[in-house]
Amino acid sequence: MEQLTGKVAVVTGGASGIGLAMATRFAAEGMKLVLADIEPDTLERAVAGLPAGTEAVPAVVDVSTPEAVERLRDTALDAFGAVHLVCNNAGVGSGGPVADTPLADWAWVLGVNLWGVIHGVRTFLPVLEAQGEGHIVNTASVAGLFAAPYMGAYNVSKYGVVALSETLFNELAIAQSPVGVSVLCPSWVKTNIADSSRNRPGGRGDEAEASAIAEAIQNFISTGIEPEAVADAVAEAVKVRRFWILTHDDTHAAVSMRTKAILEDGPPPMLMH
């Protein structure tokens, strides 16, 4: 999709962080927007803060629920009659040892980070193919390329997004589909994902543990890049139909270290990028 002006973008997790940065960049390209998020008040403020003249519709959506994503599709089609770019971006963070991670946290993280992308692909792909044009961007992470300790549920969810995206890319290539696919794998970005537990079903769980994990993650996030830099990379990838969207210079070296360990039958390296 070399030309974005006048096209319609759907962005989940669009009220803050990378999602809002992408929406703002797409608005600057002249796109019409449907912003989806689980937080109504934050979503309304996000839409109100978009560049003047932007045609944008808010949609409160829990992406872990297929029916909610189907309603999001209907909202977009009712508002604009088409969807050209789908950014399955909604995500949550969680940490702690695998042995101590509650099943509820596994269900929550996988429900949003992985099932949310699955629902987005299954729901919107037929629309894109029927109109003969479109692009899907699935937000994974460098945690989908190598696995740091104490991030088990998050790592599993992001590895799943990468696997889904690679599979989809090749299936669409075999079918000579006009629909493009990209997978976004950023490292640390200055977002509020460290406070994801505010939206955890049933509350934050162990407040002390949640606070400690959030503080540890926030220390890494504070060294990250701005969401706007990620949004620029996404917009460029969509225009040129690039599959991999890697936002940090050190990602390639980390992937090479992991690949080298695999090829040499070595243990997985300790990578915290």
Q: What is the pLDDT of residues 216-255, one digit of tens each?
A: 566 657 677 999 999 999 999 999 999 999 999 999 999 9
Pick from 91, 88, 78, 38: nearest CA to 61: 38
Give the pLDDT confidence score for residue 230 in this predicted structure. 97
Run of H or E including 185: strand 179-185
- What's the CATH number where 195 sits? 3.40.50.720
- The answer to the question of residue 125 being in a domain is yes
- The answer to the question of residue 2 being in a domain is no
- The answer to the question of residue 3 being in a domain is no
Give the pLDDT confidence score for residue 193 in this predicted structure. 60
- The answer to the question of residue 272 being in a domain is no
Give the pLDDT confidence score for residue 199 in this predicted structure. 58
- The answer to the question of residue 27 being in a domain is yes
Number of domains present in the structure of the chain: 1
DSSP assignment string, 111-147: HHHTHHHHHHHHHHHHHHHHHT-EEEEEE--GGGTS-
- The answer to the question of residue 168 being in a domain is yes
R_g (Cα) of the chain, nearest Å: 18
Asked if 89 and 22 count as a contact pair (C-beta separation under 8 A), the reply is: yes
Q: Which amino acid is at 12?
A: T
- Quick: pLDDT tens for 132-183: 999 999 999 999 999 999 999 999 999 999 999 999 999 999 999 999 999 9
What's the domain range around 14? 8-263
196: pLDDT strictly greater than 70: no
Whole-angstrom distance, CA of residue 117 vs CA of residue 36: 13
Q: Global pTM?
A: 0.91
- Quick: pLDDT tens for 24-75: 999 999 999 999 999 999 999 999 999 999 999 999 999 999 999 999 999 9
Write the CA distances from 70 to 67, 205, 246, integer angstroms. Answer: 5, 30, 29
Residues marked active site are found at 154
